[in-house]
Structure formats: structure tokens, C-alpha cells
Chains A and B, each alone.
Chain A
Amino acid sequence: MLDHFASLYRTLLLDKFPENRILALEEFLRKNEEMENKLALDLLHAYKIKPLVRRSQLLEWLLEYTKLPEWLIKESHDVTGDWSETFSLIIGNPQIRSSGYSLRRFLDEIDQSKNKLENLRTLTLSFWDKLSGPELFFFHRLVLGTYKPLLEQGFLSRFLSKQYRVEQALVSFRLNRQSLGPESFRELIDPVWQKTEARARPIPFREISAQDPESGSGVQEANWIAEPFVSGIRVQVHLINAEVHFWAYGEEYMPSPIEDPLSFFGFLPEGTVLEGILTGPPVVKSQVKGEKRKGESGWKFLAFDLLQLEYQELKSHSLSSRKQKLDELFKDPVRFGIRVITYKVLQNLEDLPLLESPTGWVLKSLDEPYHPEQIPWIRIKPPGRQVNAVLMYAEAIPARLSVYQCTFGIYNEDQTLVPVVRLIPEGLPDPLVTRLHYWIQNNTLQRFGPVRVVRPQQIFQIGFDDVIENQRLKARLTLKNPKILAWLPDREKSLEIGSLDQLKNPTDPSVFPME
């Protein structure tokens, strides 16, 4: 029913807790019919609509309908900040709880009227008489083109998989296949891989676990290789029936990030499955402003394993044999703008611009087959670093009880404090979190809405992996994977707080390697 969907939409929009979103979705699917469920999931997951009517036109109709002056509606908009909400609240209909429309009928009526303005006007006026508040909000979002899907694919596939006991990969695959996907909700949650689907089924990923260099792995060096570990999306690329499918780690189907993936991977034999790392195009200034990056897609693929060739599974083969086949497959490591880096290339790492900053190394045994149930490959992380930073700001987090998000700062060149990292003190034990809570409340110097400026007295040890340059931040840098290691109360402030120079210069002894 439309009213159920409209209130679900509102919950998903306003509720910050994943748990509540899940419950709302669960309730909706339980209450509604199968066809409505499929439609609702499509709407929540991937529905995009262009504006059907200009806002000024809708405003004109509203002025006529309500007989209110335009300035009053604009005044109301200043309060809500959202035109869809303003229109819905002004029409109000507080006495109506449900229009009785089904979701399908509602969308069909919009679809039938969308091409002619006069028809859309008639439909809008009739909806204003019939729809309840949340239904009106949903309607206005649709016609104004401000409707956005609220559920991420990962969230939805995890939810459906758990709720209906279907393999997550299968749900994820079906959800992404839009026009080619299943017609009904029942088909969507059918736990059996259909023949056409089964060929693109992902091979379960073998895990990689992080390990500190000092802990020792006990490996026999002769039979092992170390591959560079690059930040990116770990994917399997399947070339099946002249289609390229991407499966991300966790068996999550990925819509192709590359515009025409066949032009990159089409040269591979049918039935090939590669595993590797997909690295996205760098974020450039023009993208931040919303402009599209032209020319080269910027995507790069580092292939490090071959799991299937011409529909023949290779995962029981040893890594050395799989690597060999991979080398044979890629005579030329760079093709069609996508960089494919193979085993052979690994031997000459200096030539690899992609691997400028590997975030570690993965140790693999050359004798081992590819089995997910085997002990994970070992990832050696570079040693972490740490710096002492002082608490500068604390921000109350909506819907998080008794927890402040803390901004920590260090000294810049002028010996003034600049913020470098913002963290929730989750690593601290509960009594310390409570103590910090009261300290913040009692030592607030100034308040800007939810943000408190506190006395710069409390020093924390912050651990991080690396320093990344970022021109958008005041400190011109940011910390990679930061976490609070310890709270150092009652320390001498001037002696303890780190500086930007120390961060930029890792050899400086005051930025300690992690103990």
C-alpha cells in the first residue's frame, strides 16, 4: 500500500539507526503483497526519476489551490528548507491517514499523466485532495525529481539474505540486474541459482588478515611470494556470455564502475575469472565541484590471480601454476587503457606507477590452491605511527547517547593549534568515556550549536597508519586510519602536543613508531 511505503520512506529518511531501518523494512515486507514488495525494493534501491514538473509550476498550482500568498509559502519554505516538505505540510490533510492507493496504481497514474502538463495538473490536484501527509511528501519528491533511492545495495542484499535465507551473492546479483532481473519478489528471494545466473556465481574469496611485522608468520621464505597490497576494491571479474560481471569482496555484486567493461576485458577468453584490485580514478578538483571528468576513465585493475579459464575452474591448482597461466593470458600487461599487472610484472616493481604507495604486502604460498576455507593470506602492514594531540572541540552526536565526537589538534608552525583528526572515543573504556563526558561539559569555553570549544588541556595518543596530504583541510593533511590509543590526563601540555612538522617528517623521534 502507498501509505505503508510512504511511511517506510520517511523512516528510512529520518532514522539514523540501521537497526530501525531494518525493522521498518521488515515490517513493510511482511504487511504488503509480493508485487508491491518488489516494486518497493526497486524504488528504494535504484529508482531514478527526472523532474516531471518545475517547482515554480507546482507552486503556481498550490497558490491557486490553497489561496495563500506566495510570500507566505516562501516564508514556510525558509523554515522547512525543502520544497517537497513545504508543499506536503501546507496541503497537510491531517485528517487523512491513508489514500487507499496501491503503490503500483499510484505510480501508474503518475506515469499516465506525466507527458501532458494539463493531465499532471489534474492528477496533482486530485492527489492533494486524497493523499495523507507522508504520501504527499513522497508524491512531491517524485514529481519534483528530488526523489532519491535510500537503500544501498549492500544493506539491502544483506537484509534480504538474512531475512529470507538466500545467498547474499544471489540477491545482490538479482538486485543489480534491473531490467534483466526477476519480475516478482518471490523470484528475487528464490534461494536456487537459476541456470543463467549460476555461470556468473562468484568464487568465494580467500581472506586476507592483517598482521604486525613483529608478530612473525613462521613462513618458509622459499615457497612464498610477497605481493604489494594496494588500497582499492578487491574484486573478481567474470567474463561470461559476453558480459563482464564484477564481484566485490564479501561476494557483493558490483554494477560495473567502468563505462564499457567489454572494451577492457573483452579480449579475454569466455569463462575467465580474474581476481585483483580495482583502483578508482583520483578525485580531482573538478569532480568535487560536480563536473564530470572527461577522457580516460582513470580506473586501473591489478590482476593477481586467475581462478577460472574457459569455464574450467583453477582454484584447486597451485598459485604458481595459476600465476603462470595469468602470465600467458596477458602478453602485454597494459591494454586498452586499463592496466593489468601480472605475476611477471611483479618482478619489476619500480615500473609500476600504480603501486607507488602500497599499504603493505600480502604473503602467499606458491604451492597452495585457492580455497576460502584455508587459513587467510597474511597481510604485513607497515609499522603504524602515533602522535600526541590535544582535544579542541567536542560535538554532540545526534542519537548517540553520552558520546561526543572529538576533534584533536596539534601545533602548526606558529605554535597555534590546528585540528588534524576527528574521532569518537570508542577505544576508551566506559568509565573513561563518562569521565570525558563530564570533563567536556564542565570545561566548555564556547558553544556553536552542537559543537563545544573546550579548554585545550586533555592530551590523547592518536595512532595512525600514514599521513595523507589534503588541501581542503586547515592542516593541509589528514591521518589515515586514526584511532585513540590512550588518554594522557594530567600531562604537561606544552611538552606533549605534537606538531605538523613532526607529522610530515616521520623520522622525527617525537612522532613515535607504535609500540
Chain B
Amino acid sequence: MHREPLLSFTPKGIYCSRADVYIDPHRPVHRALITHGHSDHAIAGHQYYLCTQLTAAILRYRLGSFYQIQTHDFGIPLDINGVRFSFHPAGHIPGSAQVRVAYRDEIWVVTGDYKTEADALCENYELVPCHHLVTESTFALPVYQWQPQPVILGEILDWYQKNQEQGKSTLLLAYALGKSQRLIHLIPPEIPVYTQGSVEQTTDILRKAGLKLRKTIPLSSRLTKKEIQKGITLTPASEINNPWVRSLISPVTATVSGWMTLNTIRKNQAANHGFALSDHVDWTSLNQVVRACGARKIWVTHGYTEAYSKWLKTLGYEAEAVREGYRFEANRSAENQERAGED
């Protein structure tokens, strides 16, 4: 008799029917396993949340402390209705995890967002062998190949140095959660780091949850513009048009994102500069992961799903693009019904 797949893609998210658990659901559910704290993976409204300790701290801050959020350590198995779940480091942002789901002889891994390059802040990515890999594909095209982190950091510091020589204020535009903390960790301690409100709050939450991060200075009216000019200010990109930015001494801005690889995006962005530093896996590493994990079927989510699954098929893998919102669940149900009929 044909067995139901361990995980299925439903309009609410990735679902394990045997354990009645969703992974990164995008609609409110009873029980949710959360890979990391970014808002496209962790929404409000679930009844129970299960995630790593750092992610839990972020969720409490972002969603509110009234949610039932349970934490679970990396590598420790947890059985729910006979299905064994475990978290494994994804290297994307502090606390980010891949979810390994095992039942009898079948293993699935849902990567969430991940990157394989060690950044000395997040737990290093761990390759988890599996039969089914559900991978993200944000940068799954051959044009996205990252330069090593030290090279980009060198470029950022050179740029900061030049700004100092010219008496300009340096602003790095980065996501408040993840990229900002990575930058805080990378910037040498002799350079003061000033943080905009949401960056500071997120950093503080992570610090309190046990992440070791250097001291940062929250932006406030007590600071002089001259002081701010001497350091690096971290702020989300949405702040760029706010008048406080213009009020600094000759402010110059740079976006830190993997998208800065593309000339068109870099040229048309609001910031003056761009540094291609990403928290996602690039083309080369993605292919390495697919090869090394030994999966016989690859499910491609988030990003260039069609192109990457087509590419995997040309390599001989069984691959399928999982569309946003997992709308194709209806087709799958029909397929399962057909199979059940066959049986």
C-alpha cells in the first residue's frame, strides 16, 4: 500500500500530518516549528511555537510574550506521534535552524533559509543527510556567487576609511535582524557602532538571550553629530528617506545585501553604495549541498524555484518547484487520491 509522504505542502505551509505539525506555516495553525525569526517564516497567530532558544527570544520580542513558545536545542531529537524532529544549524542568522524530520526509514530536511559560509556569529551550517531536501532558492542562479566574507568586510572598512578622511558619516543599511548583528560582530572593536532603534532593540534581545555581541551605541539626541560621524551607523534600509539621516554630517549610505551583486539593482537603489554580503546560500554552495546531502528528491522553495528545479532535473535529480503559498496542494491531493485508487 502506498504511504503518504511524510511532509506535504499545504496552503498553510509545510505540513507533517503524522505529527500534526507545520514547519514555518504562513497561516495560523495549532503547532508550528519555526526555522528562524524573519517575518516571512515566523508569523503571529499560531497556538504553539517550537524553535531554538535565540529564535524564541526574537519571536517573543516581535510577536509578543503571550504566545506559547517552547525552545529546543540543536541536535536533540524530539518525538511527536512517533515522528522524530530535530533542529540543526542553518547558519542564516543567529538561532536559525534546519528541521530534520524522520519517520521509520524516511528522512526529510527543511532547510529554511541558510548559508554554508561560516560567519563567526551564527552556529555554523551543518550538512544533514536526508532522502528529501526542501531547500530555499533565493539566489539559485549561476550569476550569484559570493565573494568570501573577509573580502567584502575589507571593502566595507576601506569605504569607511575613505569616508573618515573626507569627514563623512557612514551608514550601513541592513536588515535589523541578522545582517545587522553580523555586521556588528564583523566591525573591528575600535570603530564605534551606532544603531538605529529597531537594530538596537533586536541586538539587545539577542544579547539577553545569550548571543555575545560587542557594545553598540543607540542613536539618540544626546549624541553629537561629530560623534556619529566617527563611527558606523547601522539602520534598516527603510530609514534612508527619513530626515534624521539627512541631518547627519555629509551622510553616505551603503546597502549590504546579496542583491547588490546586480548592477541594475545597485545603480537604481536609493543608497550611494552597495556591498554584496548575503545571509543566503549562493549558486555554488547550493549545488554542493544538494550533492552532499544525498537526497533523492529535492523540493525547491522561496526564490528561483522553477529555474533551479529544472536545473536539478537536468542533473538527473527528482526535483519539484514548490510555489509560494503552496497552491499546488490541490493537484497533489488529486494525485494521492489516484494512487489510493490504484492501491
A residues engaging B (CB < 8 A)? Answer: 13-17, 20, 23, 66, 68-69, 71-73, 75-76, 79-82, 85-86, 89-90, 92, 94-95, 97, 133, 396, 398-399, 401-402, 434, 437
Contact = CB atoms under 8 A, between A and B. Distances in A.
Interface in B296-328: 304, 307, 310-311, 314
A13 B145 CA distance: 21
Contacts of B146: 94
Contacts of B310: 71-72
Contacts of B331: none
Chain A interface secondary structure, helix, strand, loop or mixed? helix
B166 A23 contact: yes
Nearest to B270: A398
B272 A17 contact: yes
B164 to A, nearest CB: 13
Nearest to A97: B151
Contacts of B266: 14
Contacts of A92: 142, 145, 284
B148 A72 contact: no
A72 to B, nearest CB: 6
Nearest to A96: B147
Contacts, number: 87
12 contacts: A13-B267, A14-B274, A69-B311, A72-B142, A75-B304, A79-B262, A81-B264, A92-B145, A94-B145, A94-B148, A401-B240, A402-B241
Interface in B252-303: 253, 261-264, 266-274, 284
Contacts of A89: 142-145, 261
B251 interface: yes
A73 to B, nearest CB: 7
Interface stretch (B55-63, B129-137, B208-216, B242-250): B242-250
B141 interface: yes
B162 interface: yes
Nearest to B306: A75
Contacts of B273: 15
B263 A14 contact: yes
B307 A13 contact: no
B142 A76 contact: yes
Given A13-B263, A75-B141, A75-B307, A396 B166 contact: no
A123 B314 CA distance: 30
A13 B243 CA distance: 28
Contact of A15 (B141, B246, B272, B314): B272
B148 A79 contact: no
Given A15-B272, A92-B145, A92-B284, 12 more contacts: A68-B142, A72-B310, A75-B304, A79-B143, A80-B143, A81-B264, A94-B148, A97-B151, A398-B267, A398-B270, A401-B241, A402-B242
Contacts of A82: 263-264
B189 to A, nearest CB: 26
Contact of A80 (B264, B270, B311): B264
B246 A85 contact: no
B241 A396 contact: yes
A399 B270 contact: yes
B263 A398 contact: no
A398 B142 contact: no
Give 4 nearest A-B pairs by CB, closest first: A89-B143, A92-B145, A401-B246, A94-B147
A448 to B, nearest CB: 14
A80 B262 contact: yes
Interface in B165-195: 166
Nearest to B266: A14
A254 B7 CA distance: 71
Nearest to B274: A14
B272 A399 contact: yes
B240 to A, nearest CB: 7
A69 B141 CA distance: 12
B158 to A, nearest CB: 10
A94 B258 CA distance: 14
A75 B137 CA distance: 14
B263 A85 contact: yes
Task: Please indicate which of the listed interface residues B261, B263, B269 has the most CB atoms of chain A within 10 Å of its own CB.
Answer: B263
A85 B311 contact: no
Given A94-B145, A437-B241, A399 B162 contact: no
Contact of B142 (A15, A23, A66, A94): A66
Contacts of A72: 141-142, 307, 310-311
A97 B262 CA distance: 18
A330 B243 CA distance: 61
Nearest to A441: B241
A49 B124 CA distance: 48
Contacts of B241: 396, 401-402, 437
B272 A86 contact: no
Contacts of B269: 398
B241 to A, nearest CB: 5
Nearest to B272: A399
A371 B284 CA distance: 68
A292 B85 CA distance: 70
A72 B241 CA distance: 37
A207 B210 CA distance: 69
Task: Please indicate which of the listed interface residues A71, A81, A95, A401 has the most CB atoms of chain B within 10 Å of its own CB.
Answer: A401
A396 B263 contact: no
Contacts of A97: 151
A90 B143 contact: yes
Task: Please indicate which of the listed interface residues A16, A20, A72, A396 has the most CB atoms of chain B within 10 Å of its own CB.
Answer: A72
A97 B311 CA distance: 29
A402 B262 contact: no
Nearest to B307: A75
Contacts of B304: 75
A467 B284 CA distance: 58
B251 A401 contact: yes
Contacts of B263: 13-14, 80, 82, 85
B242 A86 contact: no
A72 B246 CA distance: 42
B162 A23 contact: yes
A406 B241 CA distance: 15
A86 B143 contact: yes
A329 B245 CA distance: 62
A20 B145 CA distance: 27
A133 B148 CA distance: 13
A396 B271 CA distance: 12
Contacts of B311: 69, 72
Contacts of A79: 141, 143, 262
Contacts of B145: 89, 92, 94
B141 A402 contact: no
Given A17-B272, A90-B142, A398-B270, A85 B262 contact: yes
A268 B261 CA distance: 57
Contacts of A15: 272-273
Contacts of A401: 240-241, 245-246, 251, 253, 270
A92 B146 CA distance: 9
